[in-house]
Structure formats: structure tokens, C-alpha cells
A and B are shown apart, each in its own frame.
Chain A
Amino acid sequence: MSWILFWKLVFVVTLALFAVMATLVTVLGARDVRRLLRGLKERKETK
């Protein structure tokens, strides 16, 4: 396999994986943000 083909494949696969990951992190990360703020609020109230 030539270097050009190799780097092309690597780049395309990386971009595809990143697109999937970005979608997941955007959606599920928002849920984590809500949980984090709720937890911190409870922590402060119990102090």
C-alpha cells in the first residue's frame, strides 16, 4: 500500500469516528451537565 493511500484511509476513518463521537458526546454530555449541577447543588445544601 502506498503512503498516500494509507494516509487517506487513516484520515477518512478518523473523521468518521470523530463525527460519531461528537454526536454522542453532545447529546449525552448535556445529560451529564444537568446531573453535575444537581449533584453540586445537593452537596452545597447538605454542608
Chain B
Amino acid sequence: MNPEEAAAALSRTNFGALDAVIVCLYLLISVAIGLVVKKYVSDMTTYIGAGRKVGAWLGVATMTGTEMGLITVMYSAQKGFTGGFAAFHIALIAGAVTLLIGFSGFIVVPLRALRVLTIPEFYEQRFGRKTRILGGVMLAFGGILNMGLFLKVGSMFIVGVTGLSSTGWALPAVMVMLLTLVLIYTTLGGMISVILTDYIQFVVLAVGLLVATFLAIGDLGWDRIFLSVAELMGESGMNPVADGSGFGWSYVIWMMITAGLVSCAIWPTAVARALAMESAPAVRRQYMWSSISFTVRFMIPYFWGICAFVYIRDSAAGADLKALFFPADGSEPGIDNLYAMPVYLGRLLPSLVLGIISAAMIAAFMSTHDSYFLCWSSVITQDIIAPLRRGALSDAARVRCTRILILLIGGYVLYWGLLYEGRDDIWDYMAVSGAIYFTGAMAVLICGLYWQRASSTGAVAALLCGGAAVLGLGPVQQLVGLQYRNDAGEWVQRLTGAQVGLITAALSFIAMILGSLLFPDRRPRDSKSKTMKTES
């Protein structure tokens, strides 16, 4: 297919003027909220924790809004497109583990009881200031690296669904526009505007997800979607541990950690929601209900990706896209499969519905960005800059510092989105980059909360071990020889990202335990007794 034909195929969309008006209206409302709620920001607790006055139902909405970002929708659709229904296992794991956390209160309830604002703040209470600063550095590094592709991938959705050119100026222009809007309302309103926009996003997104799903089923046929995948992908499109599925047992175990435990109980943006809740019972209720949205946030986008696959591979209407995404000769790579789902939705959904879905997706994009910007910038302010300063930092100075950091991180995200050229699936990139933080944090949080003999030396060793997860990233693997081209020119991996992550997690726990046993703190601290004291 020549470039003109390819551009024509990608630009076929139902997105029209009415849809553009709906999207613009939504964006204006979001910015207006930031301006209106600015008046409620009275101190750092209201700016980054909404004054700890969030009720359970609003907590579910904001948790869903944050964790169901456009990046999630895009990478999940990509997993569904490449992995078929076998990818559904990730959604099931995510939901089941979140439900268990809700029932047990594991990690999140004791953390909420300690009334900390950030995870590194807990490190200081339990292990001392040095651990807090190191934890803050690891968290900010892993977290900011993790969100490096959010802007680019989110903008790819807009480009795909609106039929703009995927190769010209459109992508960078959309990136700049979206980033500017998010930065405005996040820097102004902090967590309050984040929570309110999350609520609106939840309502719009819930309607959008269900409507688009039913329209896709109506378009392709319920049975046909399943039968096509079974026929075209075989057993590997259904069974996550089948040969050739691209998953396997080590991947499933890795997902139990990343998509399960880490996503809801270790990842700071999710934990920040628990810490902003009004009470411990509200935290449990929030997690139990959120288990549904933690399942849906993966499962529905997987399904959309699967529908895009069936549309392109097995329908006459999508035949013009087949050569683009699956070149027959295999000599040149097809177009980035991240575009498959938005291009399909652009053709499937009628005008008006497409506008609402696009607004919902942009809402998803913005609510994730704002939370992440706020989370990483507040960690740098609260856990690195403030503890390193000799004099006390006033609330006003902290808010100002956080706002400046939000702008700086925004600049980085734009830069990284234009620069990074790794070949990892987006979800795998995120799991690996996030592992730099969470493999160490998992050991420190679990041992710190539930093991009296955990020591600050063990905590520091575990956090440092987490840095080894960087070896799971594609470009780093090529640099150190973990990934190389064989004689046939194919890329070969000695260790997959999932295996590197699992090894790093195990090393962090070993370091935590050995460090604590060999170098105990002089006076063991009992976080449980502290918890009881705080609550009383």
C-alpha cells in the first residue's frame, strides 16, 4: 500500500464538527473547575489530600478516574489486539486482588491510620529521614519515567480517532494542547480539582465504555468476535499459558504483582486515594467497589482491541486496513498497532456518540495526568526537598514548589514522548519502569507495616535493589547485552521484562530481610502500636 492510500485509509472517520464541539466543551469545563476550586486550597493537606474529606463513593469514582486513564485504555487495547482473550486474565487478576485488599485492608488501612500524606512519609515514621529521602528519590524516578509515554500514547488516540495524520505535525500539536490544559487546572486546584474532574470523568467514561462496547458487539456480532479470535489466533488467543500466547506462567505471576497488588496497594497514585479517604471503613468500601472498575479498566479496552483485530483481519469493511497493520510480505513493519483501536472506533461510532466517547477518553487522559503530576511533584516537595532543607518550609512555599515541579514534569513528559523509541508493548514498558520503584517499596511497605524487626538498613538495601528493574527496559537490555540480534536479524531476549521484574522483587525482599537481621535498628519501632495510638 502506498503512503497516499495508507493516509486515506487512516483518515476515514465519523468524527465531525459536532464531535469537536463536544470535546471542546468538556475541556473548557475541566479548566473552569480548576479555576473555581482554587479558592478552597487553604494549606498543603487540602492541596495534595483534599483535606482527607473524601467519602467512599466519591473515592471509588476518583480511584477509577485515576487508574482508568487513556494510557490504560490504549495499552490494554494493544494487549487485546495482540493477545486476544488470553489477555483477559490480567483483568481478572487485577479485580480479584483489589477485592482481597478491600476485605483485608492489607497495607492501605494501616497506612491510612497513620495519617501520612505520602508513602515516603511512612518510611520516615518507621525507618527515619534517610529512608524517606531515598524512598522519595526512587519513587519520583520510577514514577516519572513510568509516565513518560502517557502524553504521546494519549495523543495517538486523538490522532487515530479524528483521522488526523499519524506522521506529520498533528501528533506533537495534540500533545502540546492536551498538556497545557492539564497543567493549568492541576497547578491551580491540586487534589480538589483532580477529584472533581475524576468524578465527572467517571460518569462520562462509564456511559462511553458501555455504549461503545454494545455498538462494537452489534457491529461485529457477539459469537463471531470469539470465533474469529479462536480461528485466527488458535489456542494462544484464549489460554494465557498456552505456547505462543506471549504470556506464560512467569507473566501471569508478574501480573499478580503488578496488575494486582502493586496497582491498587503500592502504586502511590492509588494509595493517595486511600490516604485522602475520611475513615478506614471508607477505605475498605472504596477498594471493594473499585475491584469492579479495576477489572473493567483492563477488560473493556482489551475487548475493544480484540474487536479492532477482528474488524481488520476478518471483515470486508476493514480490509483496507489489513495491509497497513499486517503487511503481507513482512519486509517492512506495519503501522503502530496502538492506532488499531482508535481507528476502529472512529469508523464504528456515529457522530455525537463519537464526540462523547472522545470527550470521555480525553477525560480519562486528563484525570490520569493530573493525578500523576500532583503525586510525583508532591513527593519531591514533601519527601525530598522539605526534609533536605534545614529550616521549616511553610505551607505556601510547599504549594508553590509543588506547582513549579508540576510544570517541570510536564516539560519532561513532552520531551520523553517525542524521544523514546523502545519496542516494548506500552504495558510492559510501564510495568518495568514502575518496578524501579515498586519492587523495593513492596518489600519496605510490607515488612515495615507487618514485621517488627524490619530495620532502616534493610529498607535502604531493598529500595536500592529495586533500581535493578531498569534492566527490563528494551533500550537498557540492548545496552547491556540482555537483548541482541541473532544471525537472522531477529531480536532475542535472554531475560524478559517480567523475569527481570520478578528477580528484582525477590532480591528486594531478600535484601530487606538480610539487612534487617544483620543490622537491626537500636530500638525496634512498632508501627502497629503507633497505628493504634494515632487512631485513638
**Are B54 and A22 interface neighbours, CB within 8 A?**
no
Q: Mark A3-35, 1 if CB is under 8 A from B, else 0.
A: 110011011001101110110111011111101
Whole-angstrom CA separation of A2 from B203 in the bound complex:
35
Check A43/B42 contact, CB under 8 A, given A11-B299, A17-B292.
yes
- Judge whether B88 and A22 touch: CB under 8 Å: no
* B interface residues, Cβ below 8 angstroms from A: 39-40, 42-43, 46, 50-51, 53-61, 64, 85, 88, 91-92, 95, 192, 195-196, 199, 202-203, 206-207, 209-210, 213, 226-227, 230, 235, 238-239, 289, 292-293, 295-296, 299-300, 303
A residues near B (Cβ < 8 Å) are 3-4, 7-8, 10-11, 14-15, 17-19, 21-22, 24-26, 28-33, 35-37, 39-41, 43-44, 47
Q: Shortest 8 CB-CB distances between A and B: which pairs?
A: A32-B55, A32-B58, A22-B206, A3-B238, A28-B57, A39-B53, A40-B40, A29-B57
- Considering only CB atoms, which chain A residue lies closest to B297 in the complex? A18
CA distance A43 to B95 in the complex (A): 36
Contact of B299 among A14, A36, A41 (CB under 8 A): A14
Q: How far is the CA of A13 from the CA of B60 in the complex (A)?
A: 19
* Chain B residues, Cβ within 8 Å of A7: 85, 88, 226, 238
Q: Say yes or no: B199 contacts A33, CB within 8 Å.
A: yes
* Contact B293 A21, beta carbon cutoff 8 Å: yes
B58, closest chain A residue (CB): A32
B contact face: mostly helix, strand, loop, or mixed:
helix
B239 touches A3 (CB 8 A): yes
Partner of A4, one of B46, B57, B230: B230
Query: 7 A–B contact pairs at CB < 8 A?
Result: A11-B88, A11-B303, A19-B210, A35-B53, A36-B51, A43-B53, A44-B46
A26 neighbours in B (Cβ, 8 Å) = 202-203, 206
Question: Which B residues are CB-close (under 8 A) to A35?
Answer: 53, 55
Complex-state Cα separation, A8 to B238, whole angstroms: 11
Which of chain A's residues have a CB closer than 8 A to the CB of B210?
A: 15, 18-19, 22
Q: What separation, in Å, do the CA atoms of A26 and B289 have in the docked complex?
A: 13
Shortest distance between the CB of A22 and any CB in chain B (Å):
4
9 further A-B contacts with Cβ under 8 Å, apart from A11-B303, A29-B58, A29-B60, are: A4-B226, A7-B85, A11-B88, A18-B210, A18-B292, A22-B207, A36-B53, A40-B46, A40-B51
Residues of A near B296 (CB, < 8 A) are: 14-15, 18
**Provided the pairs A4-B226, A25-B289 are in contact, do residues A33 and B51 lie with their beta carbons within 8 angstroms?**
no
Assuming the A-B contacts A4-B227, A26-B203, A41-B40, are A14 and B295 also in contact, with contact meaning beta carbons closer than 8 angstroms in the complex?
Answer: yes
Q: Which of A17, A36, A37 has the most CB of B within 10 A?
A: A36
CA distance A43 to B92 in the complex (A): 41
Q: Report the bound CA distance from A3 to B42 in whole Å.
A: 54
Complex contact B40–A37 (CB within 8 A): yes
What's the nearest-Cβ distance from chain A to residue B69, in Å? 17
